[in-house]
Structure 1
Amino acid sequence: MAQRKWSDMSGAQRFGVVAGGIVQVVLAGLAWSDLAHRPAKKVNGPKGVWAAVIAINYAGPIAYFIGGRKD
Structure 2
Amino acid sequence: MATTQRWSDLSTGRKVGTVVGAVVQLALAATAWTDLARRTADEVNGPKPVWAAVILVNYVGPIAYFLFGRRRHG
TM-score by length of 2: 0.93
2:31 corresponds in structure 1 to 30
Runs of at least 4 residues of structure 1 off by over 3 A? none
In 1: Cα distance, 2:44 partner to 2:69 partner: 6
State percent identity of aligned pairs. Answer: 55
Which of 4-13 and 17-26 deviates more? 4-13
Return the alpha-carbon distance in structure 2 between the equivalents of residues 20 and 5 of structure 1. Answer: 18
Aligned residues: 71
TM-score by length of 1: 0.97
Point out where structure 1 has 5 or more consecutive residues left out of the alignment.
none
Question: CA–CA distance in 1 between the matches of 2:36 and 2:27?
Answer: 14
Structure 2 gap segments, 5+ residues each: none
Backbone CA RMSD of aligned residues:
0.6
Q: Which has the higher helix share?
A: 1
